[in-house]
A and B are shown apart, each in its own frame.
Chain A
Amino acid sequence: MPISDLRTDRRKLLLTVAGAAVAIALIVVVLATVLGGGDGEGDGGPPPGGTLALTAPPDTSGIVGLDGQPAQLTPADLDAIVATIEGYLRDATITPLSQTPDETSTTQAGPAPLAAHFVEALTPRLGGDDALTLTDAHLGVAEDGVSTAKATATLAGLVQDGAAQFVNATIDVVVLAKGVPAEDDEVTIKRSGDLVLRPVEGGWKIAAYKLSVEREFGDRTEESQAASPGAPS
């Protein structure tokens, strides 16, 4: 084979490898945006879904043992508790603000995604008056993106014989939503209060809540509160 042909084949191979690398990189970027990006900040449109992660490790200084002294949650319990808190917040605010109504079963087919994070006895409340405080589904899709400015949780609870019995999570979350239908402007959503979590069937679920929400629309602020029986006063 002539040397010129060898050079041509090597050039083709390099181009092929480079092209594949670019394609893989593009796929990775797309997947990252779809599966994990979530906040949609600055990407010119709402992502089809997303996550909401705590912006700081949870403060667990309020966890005590039966002797009243500070105690530790097991890593498994802590992970499960945080997963429940983040899952609720994701399905309460990020998911409905990021998806079109047809894709958001929270608004189209009842509170099923939200209900997965609560004990069964609370399910009827999720679609009632409390929904205005528990979720942001009524705002519609934030066409220009959703981002999390703050999401913290302070945990207090009881560990007995090494097992966590219940946890009170005091949350403080700020979400920015741009381009919601009602306002076509940025909405700052401040959600705070207490979630009482208890172990249920191998996982953790919210057994009571007392939450407040402030939605700042620029020239006005809407406030609402909701509490279920047993939430701390």
Chain B
Amino acid sequence: MNRLQSLPTRAWIAAGVALAVGLVGFSVSGVGAQEGEIEIHKTASAETWGYADPVFIAIVGTDDRPGVSGARADAIHVVGINQAQHLGTIINIPRDTYVELPGHGRRKINESHTLGKAELVGQTLSQLTGASVGFVITTNFEGFTNIVNDKGGVDIEVPYAITDSFSGASVPAGAAHMSGEAALAYSRARHGTPRGDFSRTSNQGLLLLSALRQVQAGSPGPKDLIEDVVVLLRHLKTTAGVSPADLYLLAGLAASIPPENILSITMPGTTGSAGGGSVVFPTDAATPVFADFADDGIVQTPPAEDGAGNRFG
């Protein structure tokens, strides 16, 4: 029996807990992941900020895989949780967003992980959004795939059909049950979508909410969450400063906000060229969205829903 098979089936809920707020649910739910495939990093700002409302967590998927060096941040999301109001927001950041990386000048935001790992990702997102990101949860292709497969797949309502030979996605519109491989292909699909990189990052947000819905389905109590933390600890690559108590509190966060109370909003932006490549520039409309998000984790006046589950600024 391999390690994946030996894991308690429900354990991934816990991990999911940690991952909870959506992607968190999947990214952090590391149950199916091998050791080191999931990393939770506590940023420097979290040391003094603690767990006061709101809590901001970055969820990052990297393209780390055999044959690829210098893993970039392929999926980037900032989750704001306001437990007092039982509301939350996922801000989806296109990976080609062109921003100032602290200490490295203007570059694509996906390079932040290559240059400074989770700490620089957290710093960059804090600077971009104004929200004090306390934790950065990172997983890679294999970790993501294993987590989803360990859970037995993820149920998602696909807003429109996608066929992308580059990512391997071939998904009809409507209710779908995706394996880890299919979910990864869906989350990476950019071609054949209405808005390219914007659609891709928005679809990742939908996937996160679907994962959170499954994570919370078990209504985990304290003993369940502790069991989840125990499982997570066996498979997690933590960095200094992340304690088991932190994981338990993150798990509590993940379990505390109903998915229907979480809005998924994609950063307002426009495409252009910089540094010899295609990039995404945040538009002026991004400024009030970020400011609204940063003060309490809630976007009071969100962009309109487009009928397909997406909210583009």
Is A233 touching B255 in the complex (CB atoms < 8 A)?
Answer: yes
Interface code B212-237, partner A: CB below 8 Å = 1, 0 otherwise? 00000001111101110111011000
* B250 part of interface (Cβ distance < 8 Å): yes
Q: Is there an interface contact between A122 and B50, defined as CB atoms closer than 8 Å? A: yes
Given A68-B230, A229-B83, A208-B252 contact (CB < 8 Å): yes
Give the CA-CA distance A160 to B230 in the complex, in Å.
10
Residues of B within 8 A of A208 (CB): 51, 249, 252
A227 within 8 A of partner (CB): yes
Report chain B residues within 8 Å CB of A120: 50
The closest CB in chain A to the CB of B54 belongs to A229
Q: Verify if A6 is at the interface (C-beta below 8 Å from B).
A: no
A193-215: which have CB < 8 Å to B?
194, 196, 198, 207-208
Please give, as numbers and ranges, the residues of chain A lying within 8 Å of B160 by CB-CB distance.
none
> Given A121-B50, A208-B51, are A198 and B223 also a contact pair (CB < 8 Å)?
no
Q: Is A16 an interface residue (CB 8 A)?
A: no
Distance (Å) between the CB of A210 and the closest chain B CB? Answer: 8
The answer to whether A62 and B223 touch (CB under 8 A), given A165-B243, A198-B245, A230-B249, is yes
B255 touches A232 (CB 8 A): yes
Nearest A residue (CB) for B254:
A233
For residue A218, CB closer than 8 A to chain B, the reply is no
Contact of B252 among A64, A68, A156, A232 (CB under 8 A): A232
Instruction: Compute how far the CA of A228 lies from the CA of B49 in the bound complex, rounded to whole angstroms.
Output: 14
Interfacial residues of chain B within 236-250, with CB under 8 A of chain A in the complex: 243-245, 248-250
Q: Interface size (A, Cβ < 8 Å)?
A: 32
Interface bits B38-71 vs A (CB < 8 Å: 1, else 0): 0000000000011111110000000000000000
User: What's the least CB distance linking B27 to chain A, in Å?
Assistant: 18
Give chain B nearest CB distance to A165 CB in angstroms. Answer: 4
Q: Which residues of B contact A64 (CB under 8 A)?
A: 226-227, 230
Residues B83 and A228 in contact, CB atoms below 8 Å apart: yes
Residue B81, interface by CB 8 Å? yes
CB of A158 closer than 8 Å to a CB of B: yes
B229 engages A158 (CB within 8 Å): yes
Whether the Cβ atoms of B222 and A168 lie closer than 8 Å is yes
Residues in chain A near residue B230, CB distance under 8 A: 64, 66-68, 158
Query: Which B residues touch A229, using CB under 8 A?
Result: 51-55, 81, 83, 249, 252-253, 256
Instruction: Determine the distance from Cα of A62 to Cα of B249 in the docked complex, in whole angstroms.
Output: 17
Residues of B with C-beta under 8 A to A119 = 50-51
* B46: nearest chain-A partner, CB-CB: A121
Chain B's closest residue to A155 (CB) is: B222
A170 lies within 8 A of chain B by Cβ: yes
Q: Which 8 A-B pairs have the closest CB atoms?
A: A121-B50, A230-B249, A166-B245, A165-B244, A198-B245, A168-B222, A233-B255, A230-B252
Chosen A-B contacts, 14 in total, with CB atoms closer than 8 Å, are A67-B230, A121-B49, A158-B229, A166-B245, A168-B225, A228-B51, A228-B83, A229-B256, A230-B83, A230-B252, A230-B253, A231-B83, A233-B255, A233-B256
Known: A62-B223, A66-B230, A158-B229. 8 other contacts (CB 8 A): A120-B50, A122-B52, A165-B243, A166-B248, A227-B84, A230-B248, A231-B83, A233-B255
